[in-house]
Amino acid sequence: MRAVYTKPFFTALLIILVDQAVKIWVHSHMYLGERIEFLGSRGMLLYTENNGMAFGWELGGQLGKLALTLFRIGAVVGIGYGLVYLIKHKYHRGLIMNMALIFAGAVGNIIDSTVYGMIYGYAPVFQGRVVDMFYFPIIRGTFPSWVPIWAGQDFEFFRPIFNVADSAISVGVIMILLYQKRYFKHQEIEISSPHSEVLEE
């Protein structure tokens, strides 16, 4: 592999290893639903498992789970191809590194949903559950009476429980959106020749 591929793919590999190490530790040392607070009630490890996409979103049933896993595999292949394309065509380094984050996050969650069920003995291949653990309910409160629809209901920010892979995907997507003008800037290069002739009518 050429040196130009080393940094993005090494970064992706490192994120995948960290993601899997955290998930394996949580699965091995915590029971489902257990909490370990490290920022009091505002930040904790909360062991959960979900059948779906990032932050616990999911499609119902075994067919939905299978479809989602196969979609993820196809997405990873596409993202991987896109990453190689960006490197080969010398796109902005920031874009390449953020695509590497997205690729790593997608691979990390695919590992869970593809083989965790088989490894831990609770489901066949492609039917595993994604391990989530980071929970930051920073703000809790109640919507005031003048707020439409949600008046009087409890709210919480940040509600989703996520993992390292989810974080990598989110950071990659957000950075691409924030810096898209820089990443996709096309510079017009005017080539002039001192020997060109200007014809005047």
Answer yes or no: is 197 within a domain.
Answer: no
161, 132 contact by CB (below 8 A): yes
Mean pLDDT by 10 residues, the chain (201 residues): 84 98 97 96 94 57 76 92 94 96 95 93 90 94 86 86 96 96 64 44 42
Asked if the structure places residue 63 within a domain, the reply is: yes
Q: CA–CA distance from 201 to each of 16, 195, 198 (Å)?
A: 66, 19, 10
Residue 155 lies in a domain: yes
On the 0-12 / 13-18 / 19+ scale of CB atoms within 10 A, 91 is: middle
Amino acid in the structure at residue 70? L
Q: Is residue 194 part of a domain?
A: no
Range 132-144 burial, b when 16+ CB lie within 10 A, else e: bbbbbeeeeeeee
The answer to whether position 189 is within a domain reads no
Does the residue 37 lie in any domain? yes
Write out the catalytic residue numbers. Answer: 132, 166
Task: Please tell me the predicted confidence (pLDDT) of residue 199.
Answer: 42
Give the number of domains in the chain.
Answer: 1
What's residue 59's pLDDT?
56
pLDDT of residue 151: 85
Q: What is the pLDDT of residue 52?
A: 61
Distance, in Å, from the CA atom of 190 to the CA atom of 192, rounded to the nearest integer, reads: 6
Would residue 195 count as lying in a domain?
no
In a domain, 198, yes or no: no
| Segments forming the whole domain that contains residue 122 | 3-183
